[in-house]
C-alpha cells in the first residue's frame, strides 16, 4: 500500500552498520593482557639482536685516512692544492686473513652531497642519452651549464662536475716486491642505474656524440674517456660516475670503489704488508673534510653495524623488564571485574 510505503519512508535502516552495532574487537590495554605480548616481543628481539650482533662481529673493517693534513702523513705533500698530479703511498699491514670478498671504499667526511641546490644540479635527460639536452642542458645545471665560451657542458651540473677523482692501486708486498691486488670495477653501481636510468647516446663512436660540447670544468678528461682501459665503461655508464651520481644521504659517507674478488685474493687479503698508491687529486680543504679508504667485507646485513644488534638487545631486554613490571602492576591493580 502506498500509505505503508509512506509510513516507513523515512524510517532508518535497522542494520548493524547504520545502528553502529557492527561486531567489534575491543582490545583493552591493561597490564594483565599485555604481559604475554611483551614477553614474546622481548624474546624475539633478543634473538634477532644476538644474531645481528654476532654477524656484525664477524665483519672486519679497516679504515685508512689519507687526507694528509698531518705533517706525518705520507700524503701531506699532496694536500697542498697547488701540487698537481701528486701520488702518495700508504703502507699498512694485515695481521690475519682479511676474509673476502673484500670491498674497497673511498670515504669522505663533511661532504654535503645532500645539499639542496647541489642535488638539483644535474640534467636527467642528458644523462639518459638525450642528444637535445647535450646542446642545451637544463638550466638546473647552472652555473655548470655552459662554459665561458658558451659551449654546453656535458655532463652538466654541479654533481657531475665535482666527481671524486682520486684513484687507488693496492699492492701486496710479497718478499719486498709489489704485487698488485686486482680490482674488480664491474657492478659496483646499481644495476638499474647502469642498465635503465643512465644511457649513452646511441652514437658510435661515443666521442662523436660529444662534438660541440665541453667536459666539466673540474674534469681532467671528457666523459667518453673516463676509463681508458675499458671502452665499454665510458660515458654516462662509467661505474665510478654512476656511484658518484647517487648522492650520499649523510655528510659522512663512503662509496664503493672496487671489489677484490679475483685471482689470489678471491678468498680475501692474506696477512702481510700492503701498500696503497693514491693518485691524490680531490681537494678537501675547502670543506674541512677528510678522505679515507675503507676495506670491509660484508655479510647478509651489509657492512658492519653494531648499533642495530645492540638496539635489538636493549629493546628486547626492556620488553622483558616491562613484562615483569606489568606483572607487578597487574598483581597490585587488578581490575575488580568480579566486584
Partner 1 sequence: MTWRSPLALLRDALRGQRAREKELRNLVSNLPYEGLEKGKQPNRHFPGNAIKTTKYTLLLFIPMNLFEQFHRLANIYFVGLAILNFVPVVNAFQPEVALIPICIIMALTALKDAWEDFRRYQSDRKLNNTPCLIYSRKEKQFMERRWKDVRVGDFVKVFCNEIVPADLLLLHTSDPNGVCHIETANLDGETNLKQRRAMSGLCISDPEFKPESFDSLVVCERPNNNLNHFKCYAEKPDKEKVGAGIESLLLRGCTVRNTDTAVGFVVYAGHETKSMLNNNGPRYKRSKLERKLNIDVIFCVILLFAMCLVGSLGHFVWLQKQPGVPPYLVADSNGHLDSPGLSAFYMFFTMIILLQVLIPISLYVSIELVKIGQIFFIANDIDLYDEETDSRVQCKALNITEDLGQIEYIFSDKTGTLTENKMVFRRCSIMGTEYAHKENAVRLAVLEEPEESEEDVIFNQQPRPPKTGWSLDSEDANPEETQHHHCSRRKSKVAGNAQSDVAFSSPLETEVIPDRKLLQQISRAESSSGRSGSREMDPYLEFFLALAICNTVVVSMATAQRRRMSVFSRSHQASNPPDTLPNLAKMSGSLRRFITSWQRKPKRNRIFSEDSVIEEDHFNPPVKTEGSGAISGLQTCSLHAPSQDGKPATTSDNLSYEAESPDEAALVYAAKAYGFTLMGRTPNSVTVSLPSGKELVFEVLDTLAFDSVRKRMSILVRHPITKEYVLYSKGADYAIMELLGTPYAEHLCGKQKSIAADTQRHLDCYAREGLRTLCFTKKVVSEKEYESWSVNRQRALAAMENREELTMDTAVQLETNLSLLGATGIEDRLQEGVPDTIVALREAGIQVWVLTGDKPETAVNIGYACRLLEEEDLVINMSCKNTLACTSILDCALEEVRRYSNDPRNVDTTPDISLVIDGRTLTMALSSDLQERFVDLAKHCRTVLCCRVTPLQKSRVVKVVREKLKVMTLAIGDGANDVNMIQAADIGIGISGQEGMQAVMASDFAISHFKHLKKLLLVHGHWCYTRLANMIIYFFYKNVAYVNLLFWYQFFCGFSGTAMIDYWLMIFFNLFFTSVPPIMFGIMDKDISAEMLLGVPELYRMGQGAGEYNFKTFWISMLDAFYQSLVCFFIPYIAYRDSDIDVFTFGTPLNTISLFTILLHLSIEIKAWTVVHWVIILGSVAIFFIVTLAYSGTCITCNPPSNPYWILQTQMADPMFYLICVITTVVALLPRYIFHVLRNSIAPSPLVQARHLDKLDPSTRNQWIKEWRSFRGGGQGKRSGLSTPPSPTLEMPVEILPQSPTASDITGDEFTLNVITENYQRPLHT
Neighbouring C-alpha atoms within 13 Å toward the C-beta of 315: 13
Q: Report the nearest approach of partner 1 to the CB of residue 313 (Å).
A: 10
Q: Which is nearer to partner 1, 21 or 91 (CB)?
A: 21
Q: Tell me the torsion sign for CA atoms 214, 218, 223, 229.
A: positive
Sign of CA dihedral 114, 117, 123, 124: positive
Task: Determine the interface stretch with partner 1 among 179-187, 205-213, 271-279, 285-293 (rule: CB under 8 A).
Answer: 285-293
Task: Kindly tell me which of 11 and 71 has the beta carbon lying closer to partner 1.
Answer: 11
Query: Nearest distance from residue 74's CB to partner 1, in Å?
Result: 23
Phi, psi for 173 (deg, rounded to 5): -90, 105
Q: What's the closest the beta carbon of residue 9 comes to partner 1, in angstroms?
A: 7
Q: How far apart are CA 120 and CA 114, in angstroms?
A: 10
When asked if residue 150 is in the footprint of partner 1 (CB under 8 A), the reply is no
174-203 residues in contact with partner 1 (CB under 8 A) are: 190, 192, 196-197
337 binds partner 1 (CB under 8 A): yes
Instruction: Confirm or reject binding of residue 48 to partner 1 (CB under 8 A).
Output: yes
Measured between alpha carbons, how far is residue 62 from residues 92, 158, 180, 314 in Å?
A: 10, 31, 19, 27
Q: Does 259 interact with partner 1 (rule: CB under 8 A)?
A: no
Three-class secondary structure of residue 214 per DSSP: strand
- Interaction of residue 285 with partner 1, rule CB under 8 A: yes
* 252 binds partner 1, rule: CB under 8 A: yes
Q: Centre a 10 Å sphere on the Cβ of residue 46 and count the other Cβ atoms it contains.
A: 18
**Does 80 sit near partner 1 (CB under 8 A)?**
no
Interacting positions 82-141 with partner 1 (CB under 8 A): 105, 107, 111-122, 124-125, 127-128, 140
Residue with cell string 664477524? 58
Q: In angstroms, what CA-CA distances link 221 with 158, 207, 208, 326?
A: 16, 12, 15, 67
DSSP state of 337: T
State the minimum distance, in angstroms, from the CB of residue 80 to partner 1. 14
Amino acid at each position: 500500500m502506498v500509505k505503508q510505503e509512506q509510513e516507513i519512508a523515512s524510517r532508518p535502516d535497522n542494520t548493524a552498520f547504520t545502528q553502529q552495532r557492527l561486531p567489534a574487537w575491543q582490545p583493552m590495554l591493561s597490564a594483565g593482557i599485555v604481559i604475554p605480548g611483551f614477553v614474546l616481543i622481548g624474546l624475539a628481539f633478543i634473538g634477532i639482536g644476538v644474531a645481528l650482533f654476532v654477524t656484525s662481529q664477524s665483519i672486519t673493517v679497516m679504515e685508512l685516512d689519507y687526507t694528509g693534513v698531518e705533517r706525518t702523513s705520507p700524503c701531506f705533500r699532496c694536500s697542498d692544492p697547488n701540487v698537481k698530479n701528486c701520488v702518495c703511498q700508504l703502507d699498512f699491514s694485515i695481521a690475519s686473513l682479511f676474509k673476502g670478498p673484500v670491498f674497497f671504499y673511498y670515504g669522505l667526511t663533511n661532504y654535503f652531497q645532500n645539499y639542496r641546490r647541489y642535488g638539483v644540479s644535474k640534467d636527467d635527460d642528458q644523462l639518459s642519452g638525450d642528444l637535445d639536452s647535450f646542446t642545451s642542458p637544463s638550466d638546473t645545471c647552472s652555473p655548470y651549464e655552459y662554459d665561458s665560451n658558451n659551449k654546453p657542458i656535458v655532463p652538466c651540473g654541479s654533481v657531475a662536475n665535482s666527481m671524486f677523482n682520486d684513484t687507488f692501486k693496492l699492492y701486496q708486498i710479497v718478499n719486498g716486491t709489489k704485487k698488485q691486488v686486482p680490482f674488480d670495477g664491474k657492478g659496483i653501481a646499481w644495476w638499474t642505474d647502469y642498465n635503465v636510468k643512465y644511457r649513452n647516446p646511441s652514437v658510435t663512436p661515443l666521442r662523436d656524440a660529444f662534438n660541440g660540447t665541453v667536459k666539466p670544468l673540474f674534469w681532467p678528461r671528457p666523459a667518453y674517456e673516463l676509463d681508458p682501459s675499458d671502452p665499454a665503461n665510458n660515458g654516462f655508464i662509467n661505474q665510478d660516475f654512476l656511484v658518484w651520481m647517487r648522492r650520499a644521504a649523510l655528510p659522512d659517507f663512503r662509496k664503493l670503489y672496487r671489489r677484490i674478488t679475483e685471482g689470489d685474493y678471491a678468498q680475501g687479503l692474506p696477512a702481510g704488508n700492503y701498500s696503497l698508491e693514491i693518485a691524490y687529486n680531490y681537494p678537501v680543504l675547502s670543506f674541512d673534510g677528510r678522505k679515507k679508504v675503507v676495506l670491509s667485507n660484508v655479510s647478509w646485513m651489509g657492512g658492519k653495524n653494531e648499533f642495530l644488534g645492540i638496539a635489538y638487545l636493549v629493546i628486547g631486554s626492556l620488553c622483558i623488564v616491562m613484562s615483569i613490571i606489568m606483572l607487578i602492576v597487574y598483581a597490585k591493580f587488578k581490575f575488580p571485574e568480579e566486584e
